[in-house]
Amino acid sequence: MKALVFFLCIAVFSAPVMAFEYSGNIAAEYQLFPQKAQFENQLDNNLTFSFKPKVTKTWNKGNDQLSIELFFRADDKDAERNHADIREFKWLHVNGSHEWRVGVDTVFWGVTESQHLVDVINQIDRVEGIDGEEKLGQQMINFTSIQDWGTLHVFVMPGFRESTYPSQQGRLRLPLVVDSSQTVYESADEENNIDYALRFEHYIGDTEFGLSWFDGTNRDAGFIPGLDANGEPVLIPYYSQMTQFGLDLQSIAGDWLWKLEMIHRDSTEESFNAMTAGFEYTCFGILDSPVDMGVLLEYSLDDRNMNSGIFDNDVFVGFRFAFNDVQSTDILAGFIMDTDLKSQSLRVEASRRLGDSWKFTGELQFFDQIADSDPLKAFESDDYLLLELAKYF
CB-based contacts of 16: which residues, under 8 Å, 6+ apart?
59
Rounded distance, CA 321 to CA 280, Å? 12
Residue number with CB closer to another protein (332 or 378)? 332
- Contact stretch for another protein (CB under 8 A) within 74-82, 181-189, 321-329, 381-389: 321-329
- Contact stretch for another protein (CB under 8 A) within 157-165, 307-315, 318-326, 363-371: 318-326
Residue of 327, 331, 350, 371 interacting with another protein (CB under 8 A): 327
Q: Which of 366, 363, 283, 367 shows the shortest CA–CA distance to 320?
A: 283
Taking the complex as a whole, the smallest distance from the CB of residue 260 to another protein amounts, in Å, to 14
| Interaction mask 277-296, another protein, x per CB under 8 A | -----x-xx----x-x----
Rounded distance, CA 118 to CA 67, Å? 25
Residue number with CB closer to another protein (64 or 266)? 64
Residue of 151, 187, 240, 313 interacting with another protein (CB under 8 A): 151
- Contact stretch for another protein (CB under 8 A) within 106-114, 187-195, 229-237, 377-385: 106-114
Query: How many chain residues are in contact with another protein, going by CB under 8 A?
Result: 45
Residues 212-271 that bind another protein (CB under 8 A): 250, 252, 254-255, 257
In the β-sheet with 222-227, what is the strand arrangement from edge to edge?
Answer: 184-185, 233-239, 222-227
Taking the complex as a whole, the smallest distance from the CB of residue 202 to another protein amounts, in Å, to 9
Rounded distance, CA 1 to CA 160, Å? 11
Taking the complex as a whole, the smallest distance from the CB of residue 256 to another protein amounts, in Å, to 8
- Contact stretch for another protein (CB under 8 A) within 9-17, 219-227, 306-314, 322-330: 322-330
Q: Are strands 233-239 and 184-185 parallel, antiparallel or unpaired?
A: parallel
- Contact stretch for another protein (CB under 8 A) within 18-26, 37-45, 162-170, 189-197: 18-26
Rounded distance, CA 111 to CA 201, Å? 12
Query: Does residue number 45 form part of the binding site for another protein (CB under 8 A)?
Result: no
Residue number with CB closer to another protein (264 or 353)? 353
CB-based contacts of 151: which residues, under 8 Å, 6+ apart?
144, 145, 200, 201, 202
Rounded distance, CA 368 to CA 283, Å? 30
Rounded distance, CA 68 to CA 361, Å? 25
Rounded distance, CA 96 to CA 37, Å? 56
Taking the complex as a whole, the smallest distance from the CB of residue 70 to another protein amounts, in Å, to 15
Residue number with CB closer to another protein (183 or 250)? 250
Task: Tell me the DSSP string of 332-350.
Answer: EEEEEEETTT--EEEEEEE
**Do residues 195 and 215 lie in contact, with contact meaning Cβ atoms separated by under 8 Å?**
yes
CB-based contacts of 18: which residues, under 8 Å, 6+ apart?
57, 58, 59
Query: Does residue number 35 form part of the binding site for another protein (CB under 8 A)?
Result: no
Q: Which residues of the shown chain bind another protein in the complex (CB under 8 A)?
A: 21, 23, 25, 56, 58, 62, 65, 92, 94, 96-97, 99, 106-108, 133, 144, 146, 151, 201, 203, 206, 208, 250, 252, 254-255, 257, 282, 284-285, 290, 292, 324-328, 353, 356-357, 359, 390, 392-393
